[in-house]
Amino acid sequence: MRTKSILLIAISMVSFLFSQGQEVTLDEILANYYKATGTETMNEWKSILITGKYINQSIEFPFKGYYKQPGKLRSETEIQGNKIISVFDGNQGWNVNPWSGSSDPQDMTADEIKGMKNQADIEGGLYKWKEKGHKVELLGKEDLDGSPVYKIKLTRADGDVETWFLDAETYIPLKVSSIIKVQANETKNDCYFTNYNNFHGVLMARTMTNKFNEQITSQFEITNVDINLPISDSLFLKPVKK
């Protein structure tokens, strides 16, 4: 009887050690994430035009996002016939907001440029993170709304921190929690990714929902993605005041 008990304990210990050895590493998780989403395919795109709608307080506004490698972004949101435009040319940025009292282009602040630069990184901060000067840390595995997820901390080169929650089975991002520093103040935001769709070999969330303190602040829905269109660099140049 004693021999049997010792044998069971030994088997349990071997099983435990084996399971520990089977834990997925950070590099393996990221490799599975790139493969599941097709991130490397996206990296080959020269330009992207995303059309969709921005939803705020149940009101929908048409949206267009022009991306051009390397690192250029122009976003246009139409509100009552007027366009709010934000542009980052890879180095500098400018805005046009008729609702601010002027239709003239205005230079972005340093914090706005930082935000646009991160948005222009269409593949996301986890892709080639070392080359971008970021730091990545695996925080472990936990439950998110009933789904097991891998929790990954991304500290960007600019100091902003993001926590990514990747589905433990599909490796698809379900949520990103951000802590953004704006003039020494920290702003927190949770973005949930749902309704995934395959666009040209890349799996992208059609719906992105931003929440603050569990309350929905805004949503963005993608209706179409066009790639490798001839987008002129002039689209990112700051207009000269008349």
Mean pLDDT of all residues in 220-240: 94
Look up the pTM and report it: 0.85
pLDDT higher than 70, residue 15: no
pLDDT (tens digit per residue) in 21-70: 458 899 999 999 999 999 999 989 999 999 999 998 889 999 999 999 99
The residue extents of the domains of the chain are 24-233
pLDDT higher than 70, residue 13: no
Strand spans (E) along the chain: 47-56, 59-68, 72-79, 82-88, 93-96, 106-107, 135-144, 147-155, 161-167, 173-182, 185-199, 202-212, 215-227
Q: How confident is the model at residue 10 (pLDDT cuts 50, 70, 90)?
A: very low
The CA distance from 164 to 141, in Å, is 11
Q: Which fold has domain 24-233?
A: outer membrane lipoprotein receptor (LolB), chain A (2.50.20)
